[in-house]
Amino acid sequence: MQQFTLTLPSPIVCSPYQNSMSLLTSLSWLSFPSILLLLPLMFLTTLIIFKKSRSSLNLPPGPPPLPIIGNMHQLGVVSHNSLLSLFKTYGPLLHLQLGSVPTLVVSSAELAKEVMKYQDLNFCSRPPFMSQKRLSYNFQDIAFVPYGEYWREMRKISIVELFSTKRIQSFGFIREEEVSQMIALISDSCSSSKPINLSDLLLTLTSNIICRAAFGKCYIGGAEKSDFHRISLETQALFVAFFVGDFIPWLGWIDTLTGQRARLEKNFFELDAFYDQVIDEHMDPERPKSEHEDFVDVMIKVQKDLNLTRDHIKGVLMNILVAGTDTGSATVVWAMTELIRNPRVMKKAQDEVRSVVGSKNKVEESDLSQLHYLKLVVKETFRLHCPAPLLVPRETIRHCTINGYDILPKTLVFVNAMAIGRDPEYWKDPDEFVPERFIDSEVDYRGTHFQLIPFGAGRRICPGMSFGTMTVELTMANLVYHFNWEFPSGVNKENIDMSEAPGITVHKKSDLLLVATKTSSSDVQRQE
């Protein structure tokens, strides 16, 4: 195993409730009328400081902010759609004031390249959001840790140990087994001709794959499954939950009054207990040896070499759990939605898979390299339905300029990958699902072509990209190989609900319900 020298971040030194309790103590001398009297003074002071700071800077264009809240009122429930409308008014480099946080929104491939390539070092940190800090054990993870020596060393570990090509291939049997089980469940339901909830099945599939790869087992029944899924869903919800203190620090006490802090602490301790159980099981000397290492096994070995703490292992596991489950299922749901709306594309994908696989009854990962059109379908899905439309937010390290505009240190930065993927400047008929647009095109999603960046680019590109893509391709190939698909009664391509649910990962708002019919031997033979 490759050796690394790791500089650890400062440990968490406060008790779970210390911050909130000290805040309440510091406010205890204030009566409610006193707070009301102080608010106008705070408002005036903030307004004066804000206006003075803006007047001396050449900031990018943007809508005028309101006092205290800034432009927060202009972000709708589905933020990337609200930002798209602002982009049409103010252009691809947009300045917003979210509370007291200066914010930059980038919505063109050229500017994304500037941010994530030419000036990547200026833009490569992460904002210290409250929920991410707590759930990553004070940023002892990979995805959300601010830029520095610790992040560089953990990044090496993720590339060399966790997501190397060899490691990803070693999990192939897990992906194939779990996909086969899902196909069997769908086959059993075909005889009833009732609609199948693909959204539920795909979320279970990706969750099982991630759990087996990360923890060595999946949680498939009884109270254990119920508890795990409840904790996992709450963790994902907290990552997009709004905390007043993140944007208006002097009003952070509101998070205590509303119960947001208590909700975060409850989830943290439940998640922490789950991780402890998993790690204890792996460190049990009587645990049966497995020929396949999971992510916990790898991190325990790395821990011994680098003197990591348990919290470092837990922080990395949180990244894998949150990022891996959500994005994969959302991508396949959107892909199947587009295929059922586009029968020509569906048939072309089915014909290719059935021709390559023949009558051997399942698609294996070794077949994927020959499924060229299916790969175009996946690529087009990433373009039209970017799983994380605003990517993971960044934060600037220092003052810099873009196109002559001043960008302040600690500016929150969103790259609107969804807007870029639908920009008519780069894409003909951008709202149409046309996989053929990538034929004879060099454009790929691996971070070198900035008109298609579903996994980001630069230093902070997603290290688990290949793992996730392999899961999506294998799942898609088996779904179109084994079944013919139809809309349920009363639904068609004109009235199917295409609305999006809010979140870091954009899911289809309503579940995808389709009717499956088993592929006949004649369907396969016609393509051989």
Over the stretch 381-423, which tens digit does the pLDDT of each residue have? 999 999 999 999 999 999 999 999 999 999 999 999 999 999 9
How far is residue 349's CA from residue 477's CA, in Å, rounded to a whole number? 8
Mean residue pLDDT of the chain comes to 88
Q: What is the pLDDT of residue 4?
A: 47
Q: What is the pLDDT of residue 306?
A: 81
Which one, of 248, 329, 277, 293, lies nearest residue 505 by Cα? 329
**pTM higher than the cut 0.75:** yes
For 5-35, what is each residue's pLDDT tens digit? Answer: 444 444 333 333 333 333 333 333 334 444 4
Q: What is the pLDDT of residue 25?
A: 33
Q: What is the pLDDT of residue 15?
A: 36
H helices, E strands: number in the chain = 20, 9
How far is residue 3's CA from residue 461's CA, in Å, rounded to a whole number? 23
Which one, of 242, 259, 286, 187, lies nearest residue 518 by Cα? 187
Name residue 402's beta-bridge partners: 405
Domain 18-525 CATH (choose: 3.40.50.300, 1.20.1240.10, 3.40.50.360, 1.10.630.10): 1.10.630.10
Asked if the model's pLDDT at residue 39 lies above 80, the reply is no
For 352-370, what is each residue's pLDDT tens digit? Answer: 999 999 988 899 999 999 9
Asked if the model's pLDDT at residue 518 lies above 90, the reply is yes
Asked if the model's pLDDT at residue 502 lies above 90, the reply is no
Q: Is 166 exposed, middle or buried (0-12, 13-18, 19+ CB in 10 A)?
A: exposed
Q: What is the pLDDT of residue 29?
A: 32
Asked if the model's pLDDT at residue 104 lies above 50, the reply is yes
How far is residue 36's CA from residue 438's CA, in Å, rounded to a whole number? 59
Domain boundaries, the chain: 18-525
Q: What is the pLDDT of residue 40?
A: 57
Q: How far is CA 497 from CA 254, 329, 421, 432, 491, in A?
A: 36, 18, 21, 16, 9
Q: Tokens in use for 99?
A: 């509370």
Q: What is the pLDDT of residue 24?
A: 31
List all residues 6 or more positions away from 134 whose beta carbon is below 8 Å from its beta carbon: 264, 265, 268
Helix (H) or strand (E) segment spanning residue 517: strand 513-518
Q: What is the pLDDT of residue 22?
A: 37
Q: What is the pLDDT of residue 27?
A: 33
Q: Where are the beta strands (DSSP E) in 189-311?
A: 196-197
Tokens 């601010």 — which residue? 146
Q: Tokens in use for 384?
A: 């039209």
Q: What is the pLDDT of residue 262?
A: 98
Q: What is the pLDDT of residue 527?
A: 62
Which one, of 331, 294, 330, lies nearest residue 313 by Cα? 294
Residue 294 CB coordination number (10 Å): 21
Average pLDDT of the residues in 151-173: 94
Angle between helices 172-190 and 465-482 (to 10 degrees): 30
Q: Which own/partner contact pairs does 179-182 have at CB distance under 8 Å and 24+ positions apart?
A: 179/205, 179/474, 179/475, 179/478, 180/362, 180/478, 182/475, 182/478
Tokens 């109270």 — which residue? 223
* Low-confidence winner among 36-50, 102-116, 136-150 (lowest mean pLDDT): 36-50
Q: How far is CA 435 from CA 163, 267, 429, 447, 508, in A?
A: 28, 41, 12, 19, 20
Q: Are strands 412-415 and 101-106 parallel, antiparallel or unpaired?
A: parallel
Q: Are 321 and 232 in contact (CB under 8 A)?
A: yes
For 248-282, what is each residue's pLDDT tens digit? Answer: 999 999 999 999 999 999 999 999 999 999 999 99
* Low-confidence winner among 281-290, 377-386, 424-433, 514-523 (lowest mean pLDDT): 514-523
Q: 462 a known binding residue? A: yes
Q: How far is CA 315 from CA 104, 112, 139, 292, 312, in A?
A: 28, 28, 7, 22, 5
Q: What is the pLDDT of residue 53?
A: 54
For 452-496, what is each residue's pLDDT tens digit? Answer: 999 999 999 999 999 999 999 999 999 999 999 999 999 999 999
For 303-317, what is each residue's pLDDT tens digit? Answer: 888 888 999 999 999
Q: What is the torsion angle, in degrees rounded to the nearest 10, for the CA atoms of residue 328, residue 331, residue 336 and residue 338?
A: -170
